[in-house]
């Protein structure tokens, strides 16, 4: 049995299948999820688990080389906007409608319990070398 890191077997297994340039969406409870990508739904109740908590856990195990968020995040959800800006200095911002279109190319969607608007990010997997 794993004793540390991500213990959810579905999420841990899905992360192990990812490769360079694959897209991973970390989203709030309201983002529409398209057919196609593997979905790991961690939502339990509104706000649980939080977007920040899930993102932090994922970034401890996942190598990324880029991130994209909705440009509306800074005005509609300043706390999330600040979190994303601090984690991703080169954060790419696009209109929310464009972000939703990007989700169709994702290999994995991780749905959190976050119930504040625009708490979504598309991560591009990197390599650790």
pLDDT of amino acid 83: 98
Asked, for residue 14, whether it belongs to a domain, the answer is: no
Give residue 2's pLDDT.
84
Specify if 116 maps to a domain: yes
Integer Cα distance of 78 and 63 in angstroms: 25
CA–CA gap between residue 96 and residue 108 (Å, rounded): 19
Does residue 12 lie within any of the structural domains?
no
Residues 6+ apart with CB under 8 A from 8: 40, 42
> Please, are residues 38 and 32 in contact by the beta-carbon 8 Å criterion?
no
User: Which residues are annotated binding-site positions?
Assistant: 28, 96, 118-120
Would you list which residues are annotated within the binding site for substrate? 28, 96, 118-120
Residues assigned a catalytic role:
20
Q: Indicate the pTM of the whole model.
A: 0.96
Residue 13 lies in a domain: no
CATH of the domain at 93: 3.40.1650.10
The answer to whether residue 43 sits within a structural domain is: yes
> What tens digit of pLDDT does each residue of 106-119 get?
999 999 999 999 99
**Domain contains 5:** no
pLDDT tens across 62-95, in order? 999 999 999 999 999 999 999 999 999 999 999 9
How far apart CA 63 and CA 61 sit, in angstroms, is: 7
What range defines the domain where residue 93 resides?
22-125
């Amino acid at each position: 049995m794993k004793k540390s890191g991500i213990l959810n077997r579905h999420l841990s297994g899905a992360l192990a299948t990812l490769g360079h340039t694959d897209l991973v969406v970390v989203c709030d409870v309201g983002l529409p999820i398209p057919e196609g990508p593997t979905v790991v739904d961690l939502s339990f109740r509104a706000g649980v688990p939080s977007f920040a908590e899930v993102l932090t856990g994922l970034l401890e195990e996942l190598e990324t080389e880029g991130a994209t968020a909705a440009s509306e995040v800074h005005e509609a959800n300043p706390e999330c906007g600040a979190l994303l800006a601090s984690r991703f200095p080169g954060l790419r911002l696009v209109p929310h409608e464009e972000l939703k279109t990007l989700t169709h190319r994702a290999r994995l969607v991780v749905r959190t319990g976050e119930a504040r608007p625009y708490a979504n990010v598309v991560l591009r997997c990197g390599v650790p070398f």
